[in-house]
């Protein structure tokens, strides 16, 4: 990480949420990709019915990591977006990656443009977009670059700010990481916290869909993001997620989106507000981050136990390997004690993990859990 900690001056204006309560977060929802006019209009109408959508999103141009994936419907999807706006009254948003995209999106009255994670990592592309935005007052959100580099993210925001864009914000969508994780893109909360510290007035929106990569974890990341005082959420919603042309695993149905949003708690205390942060809330924030990591690691550990169970089943090996377990306990206890942890606590913790690991393996081997 290269961020120096210096304050950054970026002037911003509020992007209204258009909802019943102007204090609620900005809620951007819609499919990963525009596929057909019917898909967009059906999804948008169902979203509108939840009364909890500020702006309708759909990708028209899709920058994909590998070729031969669906690369977006292109310009022919823009009149469909305009039709969504006409039929639902929702504002519309799409991703832009170059000056031509900006020009076309503005021609079709797109209200909010976002710069994707692969584009915000490239200062040449961001500068080209910035130059094409001069003289407009469209809203712009900039996703974090794919790599965890706060300076690069700030640089992209500065370029767009210098072009005169005031309705400006950042989107936290997680980062590529070599570390194995339960997430598609690791949230690395310290990076948006750094951005918030550098630029407290800049709105940060969270994109739980691209962080999670699946639908199950979205409620947790959405709540966590609100607890960290983000100003909004961007969630992928499709009227028929199983058949989506991109990111099928992470898109919610409009019904599930409604359940998600109505289930979220909007808190008044905001740990990311750096100026009035008390020592206690800072320590609690550290504990929350560590607990999250511990649970993620436990989940990864049990996934490996599951694979070991499969291996043992195929090779006819017994579940309980006492020598291996005795070695683990001895080594972990010595290491934990050297780190100042209590021996009884370590023993109880390791026993619990071992028991659960045996349970997981035995489910795989026998299709039923062993009794404790």
Interacting residues toward ligand PEP by CB under 6 A: 32, 59, 116-117, 143, 173, 210
For 332, the token pair is 């972990």
Instruction: Mark residues 21-40: x for contact with Mn ion by CB under 5 A, - for none.
Output: -----------x--------
* Cβ-proximal residue to Mn ion, closest one: 32
With binding defined as CB under 5 A, does residue 247 bind Mn ion? yes
- Rounded to the nearest whole angstrom, what is the least distance from the CB of residue 214 to ligand PEP in the complex? 15
Which of 173, 238 has the CB closer to ligand PEP?
173
Q: Give the angle subtended at the CA of 264 by the CAs of 96 and 303, to the nearest 5°.
A: 80
Side-chain half-sphere CA neighbours of 187 within 13 A: 25
User: Is the separation of the CB atoms in 326 and 347 below 8 Å?
Assistant: no
**Phi and psi at residue 259, in whole multiples of 5°?**
-60, -45
User: Which of ligand PEP, Mn ion, none sits in contact with 173, Cβ below 5 to 8 A by type?
Assistant: ligand PEP
DSSP bridge pairs for 55: 28, 91
> How many chain residues interact with Mn ion (CB under 5 A)?
2
Which of 78, 364 has the CB closer to ligand PEP?
78
What region does 266 belong to: left with phi over 0, alpha with psi -120 to 50, or beta? beta
Which of 15, 32 has the CB closer to ligand PEP?
32
With binding defined as CB under 5 A, does residue 207 bind Mn ion? no
For 290, the token pair is 């560590």
With binding defined as CB under 5 A, does residue 111 bind Mn ion? no
Number of helices (H), then strands (E), in the chain: 13, 8
Q: Which residue has the tokens 């010595």?
A: 334
User: Is the separation of the CB atoms in 264 and 222 below 8 Å?
Assistant: yes
Q: Which of 27, 34, 25, 33 shows the shortest CA–CA distance to 48?
A: 27
- Rounded to the nearest whole angstrom, what is the least distance from the CB of residue 240 to ligand PEP in the complex? 17
Which of 93, 346 has the CB closer to ligand PEP?
93
- Rounded to the nearest whole angstrom, what is the least distance from the CB of residue 152 to ligand PEP in the complex? 14
- Rounded to the nearest whole angstrom, what is the least distance from the CB of residue 179 to Mn ion in the complex? 22
DSSP-assigned states of every residue in 67-132: TTS----GGGGHHHHHHHHHHH--EEEEEE-SHHHHHHHHHTT-SEEEE-HHHHT-HHHHHHHHHH
Which of 116, 241 has the CB closer to ligand PEP?
116
User: Which of ligand PEP, Mn ion, none sits in contact with 143, Cβ below 5 to 8 A by type?
Assistant: ligand PEP
- Rounded to the nearest whole angstrom, what is the least distance from the CB of residue 122 to ligand PEP in the complex? 12
In the chain, % helix, strand, coil (3-state, to 5) comes to 50, 10, 40
- Rounded to the nearest whole angstrom, what is the least distance from the CB of residue 31 to Mn ion in the complex? 8
Enumerate binding residues for Mn ion (CB under 5 A).
32, 247
């Amino acid at each position: 990480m290269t961020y120096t900690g210096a304050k950054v001056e970026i002037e911003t204006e509020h992007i209204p949420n258009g909802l019943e309560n102007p204090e609620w977060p900005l809620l951007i929802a819609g499919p990963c990709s525009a596929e057909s006019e019917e898909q967009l209009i059906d999804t948008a109408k169902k979203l509108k019915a939840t009364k909890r959508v500020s702006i309708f999103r759909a990708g028209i141009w899709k920058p994909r990591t590998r070729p031969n994936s669906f690369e977006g419907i292109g310009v022919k999807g823009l009149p469909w977006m305009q039709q969504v706006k006409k039929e639902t009254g929702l504002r519309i948003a799409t991703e832009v990656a170059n000056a031509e995209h900006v020009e076309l999106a503005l021609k079709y009255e797109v209200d909010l443009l976002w710069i994707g994670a692969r584009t915000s990592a490239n200062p040449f592309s961001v500068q080209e977009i910035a130059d094409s935005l001069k003289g407009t007052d469209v809203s712009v959100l900039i996703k974090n670059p794919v790599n965890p580099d706060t300076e690069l993210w700030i640089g992209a925001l500065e370029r767009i700010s210098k072009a005169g864009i005031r309705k400006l914000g950042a989107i936290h969508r997680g980062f590529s990481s070599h570390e194995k994780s339960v997430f598609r893109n690791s949230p690395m909360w310290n990076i948006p916290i750094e951005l918030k510290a550098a630029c407290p007035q800049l709105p940060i929106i969270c994109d739980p869909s691209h962080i999670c990569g699946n639908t199950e974890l979205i409620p947790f990341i959405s709540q966590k993001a609100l607890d960290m005082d983000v100003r909004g959420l961007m969630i992928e919603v499709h009227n028929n997620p199983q058949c989506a042309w991109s990111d099928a695993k992470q898109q919610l149905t409009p019904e599930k989106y409604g359940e998600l949003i109505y289930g979220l708690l909007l808190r008044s205390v905001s740990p990311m507000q750096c100026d009035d942060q008390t020592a206690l809330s800072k320590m609690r924030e550290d504990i929350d981050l560590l607990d999250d990591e511990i649970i993620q690691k436990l989940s990864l550990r049990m996934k490996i136990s599951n694979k070991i169970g499969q291996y043992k089943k195929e090779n006819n090996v017994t579940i309980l390997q006492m020598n291996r377990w005795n070695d683990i306990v001895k080594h972990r206890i010595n290491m934990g004690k050297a780190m100042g942890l209590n021996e009884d606590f370590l023993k109880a913790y390791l026993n619990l993990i071992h028991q659960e690991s045996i349970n997981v393996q035995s489910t795989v081997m026998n299709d039923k859990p062993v009794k404790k």
